[in-house]
């Protein structure tokens, strides 16, 4: 029992440490999603030119950070006419280039990891595009499209089909600060939390258990700590495999990344681990349902290779510039609640979250939440944005 309580205490301390950062990240993401209409996205992603992939990455970064929702939305874009490579770039950016991930990394591990996220993510997308250009055959792509058109449901299909963006015309500020914009932001905010909460809780519990129960000597031996070259070469290779075995994706793998970093995995290994959130076993099974068995083998192979290359790129690039932080600077929170800046930030952002949840509850949110696990018709706009005046969307 003491060992379990110790693990739960660490998980609770981690939760308290990152609460404000999560709320900030999801609030910023909700603001963007409230004014970006999904109906225009697929038409912008019709090829795999560099400009299109850059646009796909930007749109993905403004989208859901839930890995399951990102996979479902990428399939939806592919069915609507988006190029497959562009859809995959969108999917990767949706989970690896989002603000909330960068904020959490900075809070727990240092700004260098946030910089590595936003540098390594585009590297991974470029490498993936090259691999697709070299090895993705037309026959395999046709098979994948035929399977995708069958519309087999996967996790978070309903969430991916919901477009909660504002219909009102006008400037960004006018749309955002309208009553409809307020409602749309609240709905996206709560939906995003609902989408990731299970993975986040599992990730925190796993990280707490590993931090409490696995001795540092095991990690030092496993990651070749003390052997500089072997450590740098091994980390990006093993990081994605640890992610695959952990069953944790999206934001939920950051607490475990802290534990691995403190345990001795290399800087590039941490980055490759984080970028492998789309390779966990449940998502590989979704790839099989969405695109067929052959594509379900092709995607993890190319995603793994791209994550490894991105890990090596930041490992040796940041190392050459002397930007790799000291492990001692990262922290596994264990102190619980105390009156410091974290507590004050948590109070402020919890009040913001409460206001958004209140708006969500007053404007038909619970009914939408029940639909989220279902399979609304692709492309359907869910009637979510009652503006609080009784008139609904404009």
What is the residue extent of each domain of the chain?
2-371
Write phi, then psi, for 373 (nearest 5 degrees).
Answer: -85, 0
Mean pLDDT score of the chain: 82
pLDDT band at 144 (very low <50, low <70, confident <90, very high): very high
What average pLDDT score do residues 131-136 get?
96
Question: Are 83 and 47 in contact, with CB atoms under 8 Å apart?
Answer: yes
Please give the Cα distance from 154 to 69 (Å, whole number): 9
Please give the Cα distance from 14 to 22 (Å, whole number): 12
Higher pLDDT, 393 or 274: 274
What pLDDT sits at residue 382? 43
What average pLDDT score do residues 181-192 get?
85
- Between 104-118, 145-159, 297-311, the lowest mean confidence (pLDDT) is in 145-159
Taking residue 221's Cβ as centre, other Cβ atoms within 10 Å add up to 12
- Between 74-83, 124-133, 244-253, the lowest mean confidence (pLDDT) is in 244-253
- Between 42-51, 116-125, 162-171, 353-362, the lowest mean confidence (pLDDT) is in 162-171
What average pLDDT score do residues 31-55 get?
78
Separation in Å, CA 224 to CA 215, 229, 230, 362: 15, 9, 6, 54
Taking residue 383's Cβ as centre, other Cβ atoms within 10 Å add up to 12
pLDDT at 370 over 60: yes
Q: Whole-prediction pTM value? A: 0.75
pLDDT at 375 over 50: no
In terms of phi and psi (left: phi > 0; alpha: psi -120 to 50; beta: otherwise), the region of 83 is: beta
User: Helix, strand, or coil here: 297?
Assistant: helix
Residue 156 tokens, joined: 């978070």
Question: Are 279 and 306 in contact, with CB atoms under 8 Å apart?
Answer: no
């Amino acid at each position: 029992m003491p060992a379990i309580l110790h693990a739960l205490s660490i998980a609770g301390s981690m939760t308290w440490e990152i609460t404000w950062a999560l709320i900030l990240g999801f609030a910023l993401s909700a603001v963007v999603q409230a004014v970006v209409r999904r109906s225009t996205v697929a038409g912008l992603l019709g090829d795999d030119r560099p400009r299109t992939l850059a646009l796909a990455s930007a749109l993905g970064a403004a989208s859901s950070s839930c890995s399951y929702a990102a996979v479902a939305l990428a399939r939806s874009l592919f069915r609507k006419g988006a190029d497959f490579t562009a859809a995959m770039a969108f999917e990767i950016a949706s989970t690896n280039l989002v603000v909330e991930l960068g904020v959490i990394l900075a809070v727990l591990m240092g700004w260098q990891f946030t910089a590595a996220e936003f540098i390594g993510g585009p590297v991974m997308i470029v490498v993936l595009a090259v691999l697709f250009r070299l090895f993705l055959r037309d026959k395999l792509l046709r098979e994948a499209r035929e399977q995708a058109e069958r519309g087999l449901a996967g996790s978070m299909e309903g969430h991916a089909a919901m477009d909660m963006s504002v219909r009102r015309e006008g400037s960004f500020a006018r749309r955002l600060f309208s009553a409809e914009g307020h409602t749309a932001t609240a709905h996206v905010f709560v939906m995003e939390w609902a989408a990731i909460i299970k993975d986040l809780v599992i990730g925190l519990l796993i990280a707490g258990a590993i931090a409490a129960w696995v001795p540092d000597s095991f990690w030092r031996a496993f990651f070749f700590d003390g052997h500089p070259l072997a450590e740098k070469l091994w980390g990006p290779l093993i990081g994605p495999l640890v992610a695959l075995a952990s069953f944790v994706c999206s934001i939920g793998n950051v607490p475990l990344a802290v534990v691995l970093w403190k345990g001795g995995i290399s800087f590039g290994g941490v980055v490759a681990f984080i970028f492998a959130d789309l390779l966990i076993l449940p998502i590989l099974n979704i790839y099989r349902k969405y695109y067929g068995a052959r594509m379900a083998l092709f995607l993890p192979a190319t995603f793994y290779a791209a994550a490894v290359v991105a890990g090596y790129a930041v490992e040796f690039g940041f190392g050459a510039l002397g930007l790799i932080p000291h492990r001692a600077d990262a922290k596994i929170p264990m102190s619980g609640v105390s009156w410091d800046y974290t507590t004050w930030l948590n109070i402020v952002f919890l009040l913001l979250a409460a206001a958004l949840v209140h708006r969500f509850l007053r404007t038909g949110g619970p009914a939408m939440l029940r639909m989220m696990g279902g399979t609304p018709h692709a492309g359907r706009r869910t009637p979510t944005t009652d503006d609080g005046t009784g008139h609904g969307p404009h």
